Structure formats: C-alpha cells, structure tokens
Amino acid sequence: MSTKGTNPHLDTGSVQDLARAIAANVQQVIVGKHDIVELLLVALLCEGHVLLEDVPGVGKTMLAKSLARSLDCSFSRIQFTPDLLPTDITGVSVYSQKSSDFEYRAGPVMSQVVLADEINRAGPRTQSALLEAMQERQVTVDGVTRPLPRPFLVLATQNPIELEGTFPLPEAQVDRFLMRLEMGYPSVEEERAILRRFRESDPLEALAPVITAQEIERVIPVCRRVFVHEVIERYIVSLARASRASDDFALGVSPRGTMALYRTSQTLAAVRGRDYVLPDDVQSLVQHVLVHRLIPSAQTRLRGRSTRDLFSEIVARVPVPVEESWSVPAQEA
C-alpha cells in the first residue's frame, strides 16, 4: 500500500511535525498519557472542545495549563460554583465616568484556552452561557456580539464520583463536546516518575511555547482536506446508524456525532503524518467521540450495563472495511 497518498498539495508532514513538537513539550510536565495528549491535539485542530471526566488529582488542570503554554495562547481557568453567574464567564458592560459611556470588561471566556473546572457545579444558566460561546464562538453582552479568539479550546472537567451539589449537564449540552476523555491513574512507573519530576520544582513554571496561534490556524485547513475513502465514509455512517437501531439505547448517535467522528478521523490521520484515513483512525476515536452522545434505555439502566461496554459490542458487530487502497479515490481504486 502506498504511504504517500494522492493529494500532493496536502502538507500533512507539517501537521505531524507541529503535533510532535507540542506533545514533546507537554510531556516535559505530564508523565505518560501520550494517547490523551494526541487526542487533545486532534480536538484543537478540529476546533472542538473536550470534556475531561475523571476523579480529582489525576492532572486535568496541569494538562490544560501545559497545553496552553506550549501553544503560546492566552489561558484562563473558571472555577464553576453554584453562585457563578453567566456574566462571570462572558464579561459585563460597566459605566465609565471618564468616557461617559458603557465599556465592556471581558470575561475569562475571551481566552484561547479555557479550563472550565467542575462545570457540573454551576447552575444550568451559567453552564448554558459557556456552551453557547463554545457553539457560536462568540459572546453577546448588552446587544453587542463579540467574536472569540482563535484558536479557541474549552477543556471542561467534571468529577463522575461526587454528585452532591452538582447540576449534571443535559444530554443536548454534552453532545456539544467533540470528545469525552478519561485520564485514569498512572502506572506504578509513571507515578514514580511524577514524584521525581516534581521533587525539586514545578516543571510547568519553566515551560516555554513551541508553536504560535498563527501556526495552528495555518494547519487547520490541511486537516480538513485529508482524503476519506467512500468505504470508510460508509463505515462511519454504519456505526452511527447501528447505535440508533439498538434497543439498548433510547437515543443513538446524532448526525453531529457522525460529522465529529469524520472530522476527528481526518485530523488524527494528519497528526500521524498521512493524507488519507485508515479504519484504525476511526476505531481509535469511536469510543471517545461517540459514547457520551448515547442515552441508554430504561431497561439498560436496570440491567446495570455500562454505555461504553454496550457500544463496544455494537462496534464489534459492524463489519470493518477490508479495502486496501485507502489513499486512492474511489473512482481510481
């Protein structure tokens, strides 16, 4: 099989070089988690957002800060609490006696990388203010609409264990996240490496940027042009439709989810240095991109089966394409 592809105008090598530079820089602080860092880069280049769902203390905040510093992007952290107001996120207009007019004071959402810490601890109105900004990439305050900076990445965290005093995100809002990721605990060797790395100082303080926001903007169109063979397009659609046909789910994957899997597959291929998508790319992403969009049926909840396990069974039943010339357009295959 050719490894070159059929679109010489694509510069996926530059995407791969950029991704490697960012990943290597982030991993000066973060021990292990190579797959998680790669998936965050995919979300960044897809201009999507990520829900990090895991217990406290596994490095979610550190990962977000390391990524922001590596990109030379502005960073803000919003600690979500029950008394947080929508204007605490979007900003507010205040009257200036000097100018005799109202002036806009930007909220933390006007940063390029935003960490929404414990997003499920704020009320629905406040959650919606952030999610609207994520979807529309703009904020409107007192009738004036302001675009958000680019690139714009929201990393929202929530603790799946402690539910007291929380406001779970509605399914329609969870569907707005491109991916849901779980970091998990480090291995024994990784945890020992963490102790040694942070023994004398915090490596985050010395972390320097390796990529500018302008460089990120230049490679995003490259990812969008990555070739997807028609048999892989059918495979992606089949996965989504199989979830809708299953009795285990009250609600299957939406067309937004299908498009998310398509675009993340393109970007993951580019990050790995290819200008065409393989079935392996789709399979690497399917759990992270689709599972959080599913709503289990009442019977599924009663049986105590996890959504992830049930969807894994569906994925195993959908035939994987066996065509070999993934880099060749369908009419030439």
Q: Following DSSP, what letter does each residue of 137-182 receive, concatenated?
A: SEEEETTEEEEPPSS-EEEEEE-SS--TT--PPPHHHHTTSSEEE-
Give the pLDDT confidence of 55-87 residue by residue, as tens digits.
777 778 888 888 888 888 888 899 988 888 888
**DSSP symbol at 187:** P
Which pLDDT score, from 0 to 100, does residue 5 have?
44
**DSSP symbol at 323:** -
Query: Phi then psi for 146, rounded to 5 degrees?
Result: -125, 130
- Among candidates 263, 279, 266, which has minimal Cα distance to 227? 266
Residue whose entry in the numeric block shows the structure tokens 């990784």? 190
Which of the residues in the chain have pLDDT under 70?
Answer: 1-10, 161-165, 323-333
No. of H helices and E strands in the chain?
A: 13, 11
What are the residue ranges spanned by the domains of the chain? 11-219, 226-322
**DSSP symbol at 120:** G
Helix axes 307-317, 279-290, angle to 10 degrees: 150
Other Cβ atoms within 10 Å of 87 Cβ, number:
14
Q: Following DSSP, what letter does each residue of 32-91 receive, concatenated?
A: S-HHHHHHHHHHHHTT--EEEE--TTSSHHHHHHHHHHHTT--EEEEE--TT--THHHHE
- Among candidates 144, 63, 147, 62, which has minimal Cα distance to 112? 147
In the CATH hierarchy, which fold is given to the domain comprising 226-322?
Helicase, Ruva Protein; domain 3 (1.10.8)
What span, in angstroms and rounded, lies between the C-alpha atoms of 169 and 85? 16
Buried b / exposed e over 167-203, threshold 16 CB at 10 Å, is bebeeebbbbbbbbbebeebeeeeeeeeeeeeeeeee
What span, in angstroms and rounded, lies between the C-alpha atoms of 317 and 202? 47
Other Cβ atoms within 10 Å of 118 Cβ, number:
18
Q: What is the pTM of this model?
A: 0.85
Q: Name the percent of the chain lying above pLDDT 70.
A: 92
Q: Judge contact between 181 and 51, C-beta under 8 A.
A: yes
Domain 11-219 in this protein, CATH class: alpha beta
